[in-house]
Amino acid sequence: MTFRESMHKEVSEIVTVSLFFLVSFFSIGVMEMLYLEEYGVSVFSVAKTFVSALVVAKVVLLLDRTSFGSRFRHHALWMDVLYKALVYTVCCAAVLSLERVFHQLSQAGTWMKAVGLALGSADIHRFFATVFCLFLVFTLYSLLRALSEHFGRGLMLSFIFSAEARRESRESLATLRK
120-149 pLDDT, tens per residue?
777 788 788 888 989 999 999 999 888 888
- DSSP secondary structure string for all residues of 96-152: HHHHHHHHHHHHHSSHHHHHHHHHHH--HHHHHHHHHHHHHHHHHHHHHHHHHHHH-
Question: Could you tell me if residue 5 is inside a domain?
Answer: yes
Question: What pLDDT shows up at residue 135?
Answer: 93
Question: Could you tell me if residue 35 is inside a domain?
Answer: yes
- What is the C-alpha to C-alpha distance for residues 9 and 48, in angstroms, rounded to an integer? 26
At residue 1's C-alpha, the angle toward residues 73 and 148, to 5°, is 35
Question: What pLDDT shows up at residue 80?
Answer: 92
Strands (E), 31-164: none
Angle, in degrees to the nearest 10, between helices 46-64 and 3-37: 130
Q: Is the entire prediction scored with pTM above 0.75?
A: no
Question: Could you tell me if residue 132 is inside a domain?
Answer: no
- Write the CB contacts of 101 (distance below 8 Å, at least 6 apart in sequence): 111, 114, 115, 118
Question: Could you tell me if residue 171 is inside a domain?
Answer: no
Q: What is the DSSP letter of 44?
A: -
Instruction: Give the count of domains, the chain.
Output: 1
Question: What pLDDT shows up at residue 20?
Answer: 87
Question: What pLDDT shows up at residue 42?
Answer: 58
Question: Could you tell me if residue 42 is inside a domain?
Answer: yes
Question: Could you tell me if residue 139 is inside a domain?
Answer: no
* pLDDT lower than 50: segments of the chain: none
Question: Could you tell me if residue 26 is inside a domain?
Answer: yes
Domain span including residue 29: 1-65
Tell me the backbone φ, ψ of residue 54, rounded to 5 degrees: -65, -45
Question: Could you tell me if residue 72 is inside a domain?
Answer: no
- What is the C-alpha to C-alpha distance for residues 143 and 156, in angstroms, rounded to an integer? 12
Question: What pLDDT shows up at residue 27?
Answer: 85
